């Protein structure tokens, strides 16, 4: 008779883990950005905008642009809920010593919005990505 509750518990456990296994992760932003290819295109537009932006380009004079591009693709993909892994350094470590100002942070965000606009990303989706970047400001801006 004691077996029944155990069996019931086991069944419930199995059912709930199945439910979790099938619960879809929220990848609506990832899809909205155009998935991997969309993000690749956005970053491919974004990086040259940053490198041409008089307000911030100086900071990137010694940066490995190929690496930066790859890391940004990974980071945006992860932030958007996509099936990626960010393999770069922590934001605080990367930007430590760069003396990034709020104005520079805003300039870079503006360039990202232009890049998304040029790639046909709806403003609702643009705002979602920008909102996810906003909390990073504290770790990036040091001046
Ligand atoms: C939302 C804001 C920002 C995000 C999400 C961001 C993200 C990143 C990422 C993912 C990397 C590559 C990390 C790695 O290589 O492991 C990076 C590097 C870098 N970022 Fe930012 N960044 C932001 C703002 C800024 C701003 C405002 C500046 C300066 C104006 C800046 C300057 C740099 C530089 C110079 C590097 C290269 C560092 C190096 O090569 O050692 N970033 N950033």
Q: Which of 82, 86, 83, 84 minimizes the C-alpha distance to 28?
A: 82
Q: Which of 108, 111, 141 to mutate to test the pocket of ligand 1 (most atoms within 8 A of CB)?
A: 108
**Is residue 7 in some structural domain?**
no
Any domain includes 21: no
> Which residue's CA is the closest to the ligand 1 atom numbered 25?
105
DSSP-derived letter for residue 64 is: -
Contacts of 34 (CB under 8 A, 6+ apart): 41, 42, 119, 121
Count helices and strands in the chain by DSSP H and E runs: 8, 0
Looking at the CA of residue 55, tell me the nearest atom of ligand 1: 30
Q: How far is the CA of 63 from the centre of ligand 1 (A)?
A: 9
Residue 8 located in a structural domain: no
In 3D, which of 98, 105, 114, 111 has the Cα closest to residue 136? Answer: 105
What is the distance in A from the centroid of ligand 1 to the CA of 70? 12
The size of the chain, in residues, is: 143
pLDDT at 11: 55
Q: Look at the chain and report how many structural domains it folds into.
A: 1
Q: Write down the pLDDT at residue 20.
A: 54
Question: Measured between alpha carbons, how far is 23 from 20 in angstroms, rounded to an integer?
Answer: 5
Domain of residue 87, CATH code: 1.10.490.10
Residue at 92 is within a domain: yes
Q: Is residue 52 part of a domain?
A: yes
pLDDT of residue 25: 72
Per-residue pLDDT of the chain (143 residues; tens, 9 = 90+): 566 666 666 655 555 555 555 555 789 999 999 999 999 999 999 999 999 999 999 999 999 999 999 999 999 999 999 999 999 999 999 999 999 999 999 999 999 999 999 999 999 999 999 999 999 999 999 98
Q: Is residue 112 part of a domain?
A: yes
pLDDT of residue 133: 96
Domain span at residue 128 reads 26-140
3-state secondary structure of 63: coil
Is residue 9 in a domain? no
């Amino acid at each position: 008779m004691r077996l029944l509750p155990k069996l019931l518990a086991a069944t419930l456990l199995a059912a709930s883990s199945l439910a979790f296994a099938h619960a879809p992760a929220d990848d609506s932003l990832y899809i909205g950005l155009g998935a991997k290819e969309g993000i690749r295109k956005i970053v491919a537009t974004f990086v040259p905008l940053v490198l041409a932006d008089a307000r911030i380009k100086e900071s990137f004079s010694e940066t490995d642009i190929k690496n930066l591009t790859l890391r940004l693709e990974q980071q945006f993909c992860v932030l958007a809920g996509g099936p990626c892994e960010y393999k770069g350094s922590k934001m605080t470590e990367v930007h430590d010593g760069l003396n990034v100002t709020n104005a520079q942070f805003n300039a870079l965000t503006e360039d990202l919005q232009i890049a998304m606009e040029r790639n046909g990303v709806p403003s609702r989706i643009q705002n979602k990505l920008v909102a996810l970047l906003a909390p990073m400001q504290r770790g990036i801006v040091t001046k």
